[in-house]
Amino acid sequence: MKIGIIGGTGDIGKGLSLRISDKHEIILGSREAAKACEAADATVCTLRDRNCTGLCHGASNEEAVRDADIVVISLPFQHVAPTLAGINPTYLENKIVISPVNPMGKKDGYFFFDRPEEGSAALAIQKMLPASAKLVTAFNNIAAHKWTLLDEELDYTVAVCGDDAEAKKVVMQLVSEVSRLQAVDAGPLAVAGIVESITPLVLNIAKFNGLKDVGVHFG
């Protein structure tokens, strides 16, 4: 499959390109295509140093969406609306779109879930997409910089929410191909806000307990 990542120069783009570009073609998108090409080159070099290969290249955000089978929106919540506004919406039609977006803020030394009016980033983003796009949330609670630590396995549960059963299945399969991630079906998009809010929670747990890279396991 071709996976196009909006905001692909961030940790998720780097992580996915390092970890699954041997199985899927990864298109890193960026506002500046040159930056995305640089990030893609860096991935290919890292993999080559390890005697691995991967199919990964850079593009503009719009090209990454246009050429992808599955689109990942790897952006801070406040950048999602303006970025999607700059992309031809027909490129998103009928596609699976993955949101790992967690709206959050920080005050008085702790992180909080900055709940959008719609109840979650997922429900807000759904309104920005064509009706035929199939939005699924995944990869929400993985400590950002863990993605790129190739010597460390990602041994977490990924709670996946979505309203399209088939799309959810495809995303759960994709998740399970990444390191040791275990995908679980966490229900419809209506409850995605719970999963999104776990990210400020694990950041607080890390902060208040002197821990690093706290993730979540359900079981």
**Which residues in this chain contact a copy of itself in the complex, by CB under 8 A?**
108, 110-113, 159, 184-188, 190-191, 193-195, 197-198, 200-202, 204-205, 207-209, 211, 214-219
Cα Rg of the chain (Å, integer) = 16
CB 148 within 8 A of CB 74: no
Q: Name residue, tokens 């997409």.
A: 129
Shortest Å distance, C-beta 199 to a copy of itself: 9
What count of residues does the chain have? Answer: 219
Whichever of 77 and 111 has its CB closer to a copy of itself, that residue is: 111
Residue type, 19: R
Whichever of 132 and 208 has its CB closer to a copy of itself, that residue is: 208
Whichever of 14 and 168 has its CB closer to a copy of itself, that residue is: 168
Shortest Å distance, C-beta 110 to a copy of itself: 5
CB 102 within 8 A of CB 140: yes
Shortest Å distance, C-beta 187 to a copy of itself: 4
Which is it for the CA torsion 98, 77, 5, 153, positive or negative?
negative
Report residue 21 as tokens: 């570009």
Shortest Å distance, C-beta 188 to a copy of itself: 6
